[in-house]
Chain A
Amino acid sequence: MRPLDEKETSAVFEKLFKFVGNNLKNVVENPSHEGPDANPGRYCFRLHKNKIFYASESLVKRATNVARPSLVSLGTCIGKYTHGGSFHLTVQALNLLAAYAKHKVWLKPQSEMSFLYGNHVLKSAVDRLTENIAPGDGVVVFSISDVPLGFGVAAKSTQDCRKLDPNGIVVLHQADVGEYLRMEDEL
């Protein structure tokens, strides 16, 4: 487990910024509540075995006792480095992203399951979506009752979506909570 170097930090922050925008400041600077200390400090990012963890400083401090091979996870895993060396956000980051998300899409109840099986979000499935989405922005997908279901990348801007035919793709799938069941082993 080690802090991220500059290159890694910029890669992670870039990805997060797509989803949370200016809220990134809050992501980094908000005080944490995990940890037994009276003042657990802020959150920080740590790299461990190709995975990026987002955890309270207090937790990180205590996790240093654990030997590297036997440390499995701490705090929240938000993404991982692939073999190719690029950084991907994983579904575990959903809680964090949903809390600070800038761009959101709400799905109709009947199309929830389609998304949870890993399909892209089509125009016909969208109940409503936030303004000012530009193509390439990160979008968090919610159910109609505000349950975060996953996230992806916007394929079209909000304006273009209005004109889109029902089978057009609005959000390209990146991760969904169905992965907890479908591919538990790969997480």
Chain B
Amino acid sequence: MAPVRKKTSKLRKSPKNPSKIQPKNNSTSESEENSPPPAEQFELGDHNSDSASELSSDGDDPLTDDFLQGSDDDEEKASEGASGSGSDSDDDNIEKKSIAIDEEKAREEEDAEAEMQLNINQESDEFRLPTKEELGEEALRPPDLSNLQRRIKEIVRALSNFKALRHDGSTRKDYVDQLKKDICMYYGYNEFLIGALVEMFPVVELMELIEAFEKPRPICLRTNTLKTRRRDLADVLINRGVNLDPLSKWSKVKAEDSVLVGRGMVYRKRVSRTLKTEEFYSTMQCNSATIAIFSRSATLVGLVVYDSQVPIGATPEYMAGFYMLQSASSFLPVMALAPQEKERVVDMAAAPGGKTTYIAALMKNTGIIFANEMKVPRLKSLTANLHRLGVSNTVVCNYDGKESDQLLPNVSPKENSVLADSRTINLSEKLSDPVFKLNIHYAAFHSQLPKVLGVNAIDRVLLDAPCSGTGVISKDESVKTSKSLEDIQKCAHLQKELILAAIDMVDANSKSGGYIVYSTCSIMVAENEAVIDYALKRRDVKLVPCGLDFGRPGFTKFREQRFHPSLEKTRRFYPHVHNMDGFFVAKLKKMSSSKPGVKPSETAEKEEETTTFVKEKEIKGGVKENGNVSSESEFKKKKRKFSSKPSNGLKENGKESSESEHKKRKKRQFPSKEEISNASIFFSLGAAISTLRRRHESIL
């Protein structure tokens, strides 16, 4: 402030050294009007020089200078001083005043703006992604969790409004990469899994999901309707000091969710700002025990346990088989299967029997259930649970790789695995891998399972496939680090084998059934939609609605993959949306026992193979034919030659005659002789060759 007024006053009051000040002042006033900040700088500098010059040159008039300078600080004084000097008119005075006021205003604004700019810069500095050097430093130190968490939050914020909050020069990819690294560090995921999750969810939702994975899901139990009713069980348990609630319908969530289902993710993001959805999400997240549930059958049997004074897994009621501890998500595939009484049902991967016993309860112990389990150690829990819950309509069987050898009795194990291999894709080089071999055995056996239980002889099949378990991270933390792309692919391959076996078992003409339910506790697309899509192509099946009125529809397209449009009938469940384990359910109806998908594709493959073969053959044949054409003539000639030669050999007695003959022939059949020499005798003399060549040329 001060320097400006000083200048103006000086302009007026001390014209003693105009040569020094005048031009500068002009320039400053001009620049002040045009671009304030440089003017300030300039003046500041100028003031210094001025004060120096004042000290030296204006030393003779210190009083006025002092006086003026003093007045500079205060506007009134300045005006007094100006009026006191009396050299200018009142108009002039007012003008100066107004100019001074204007300038001051401009200056204030300017300061404010500068300050604001400074603040903005500082803020944007906070969002800035760490540089490589900083990351390098960070890597040396132990991880600072609070800092990581802050950075994750900021990156998520920046990504959710990227246009406004991005830092210049860094792309979205930079942000996402940094986010991935931070999440890996903070939550302990491996890079593959985080990469896969980032591909599936927008960042805000991703964070919700990951947070949900950190918390345990509520404990659920299912009433065994073979032995008791839910009401009675609840009373008994409440008397034992268990705090529980029926697993009930939550109409609000359902309504909200059906909206979400209808419009998909984008819509959800948009409405999440409206009050309704915010309410919905806050209730969702606050009340961790509430579950978005359920259709009729589940509401009749499900109970949620909040807390308990007794171990809920060791009450007399539990031992007596009145209930089964079971996560809410494992109700879903059985509800989708909706088994009827007197049906033939197969549970292809049954242990530990939660779903099998639920099926039996729905069937009221009628009909027959084939409960298969591959892993021998898990059979014990399966049979124990079946007996504990009083299920008597079940045949438990265990097939594993060894059996597959017996089922194909004339095939040695090695050949058998190769046989299985021929049905699979790109496995030949991985046969040495023991895990793979096991899988192959498993697959080989399972494709035998229809033969054991009957092809086209089953009403419903539940395939709760073995999977990577990426939906149940809250139960098993090791999934965070243990899974890789290979594991997912192995699982997916196994699942494809299993689902085809499942479909082959089902009777398409079943009066009441003809359904296959496929479920996994994984949220990977490769293990879910891709498997169903594969089945749709390979067998005459179609997707039908699961009968679950909530859950997200499955992906019909995912990144570069495009699935059958009916895949929206499948259902996905997420911990952060439905408060149950990550889960996938699909229900297929078998239309006919033909394998339309197989024949075209297989034959097509075969055709392709054969055509390529034919082409190769043609090419080879052509070459050979060409070769033959040329060689045939040669051959004939040779034949002639050979036929004559043995005669020569045989007639060893008459050497002279033979020699003469030979000479004669030499003269007659010179080219053939040359060929023979070329073919058999490579060490003939160079001179001879050259002469032969010459002769040959002359002949040609």
Contacts and interface: CB of A to CB of B under 8 A. Distances in A.
A177 interface: yes
B380 A35 contact: no
B316 to A, nearest CB: 5
B381 interface: yes
B366 interface: yes
Contact of A178 (B319, B373, B383, B453): B319
A75 B392 contact: yes
B320 A58 contact: no
Nearest to B345: A36
Nearest to A96: B392
Contact of B453 (A38, A65, A180): A65
Interface in B311-350: 313-314, 316-317, 319-322, 342-344
B387 interface: yes
Nearest to A180: B388
The interface centre, meaning the residue of A58, A75, A91 with most chain B CB atoms within 10 A of its CB, is A75
Given A62-B395, A74-B395, A116 B319 contact: yes
B489 to A, nearest CB: 28
B15 interface: no
A80 to B, nearest CB: 12
Given A73-B395, A143-B316, A147-B322, A180 B368 contact: no
Contact of B381 (A33, A56, A65, A184): A184
9 contacts: A65-B454, A66-B395, A70-B399, A72-B398, A149-B319, A176-B319, A181-B314, A187-B383, A187-B384
B320 A73 contact: no
B266 interface: no
Contacts of A145: 236
Interface of B: 236, 313-314, 316-317, 319-322, 342-344, 365-368, 373, 379-384, 386-388, 390, 392-400, 402-403, 406-407, 452-454, 459
A34 B367 contact: yes
Nearest to B445: A70
A112 interface: yes
A22 interface: no
B384 A71 contact: no
Given A35-B368, A36-B342, A74-B394, A67 B321 contact: no
Interface residues of A, number: 42
Contacts of B316: 112-113, 116, 143, 147, 149, 177
Nearest to B451: A65
- B contact patch SS: mixed
Contacts of A75: 392-395
Contacts of B320: 143, 147-149, 177
A77 B387 contact: yes
Contact of A180 (B319, B343, B399, B454): B319
A72 B396 contact: yes
B396 to A, nearest CB: 4
Given A34-B368, A34-B392, A59-B393, A184 B380 contact: yes
B380 A185 contact: yes
Nearest to A143: B316
Contacts of B317: 147
Contacts of B398: 70-72
A176 B319 CA distance: 9
B397 A70 contact: yes
A158 interface: no
Contact of A36 (B322, B367, B388, B400): B367
A23 to B, nearest CB: 17
Given A34-B392, A177-B320, 9 more contacts: A33-B366, A34-B366, A55-B392, A56-B392, A59-B393, A66-B452, A71-B397, A95-B390, A177-B388
A72 B319 contact: no
Contacts of A92: 387
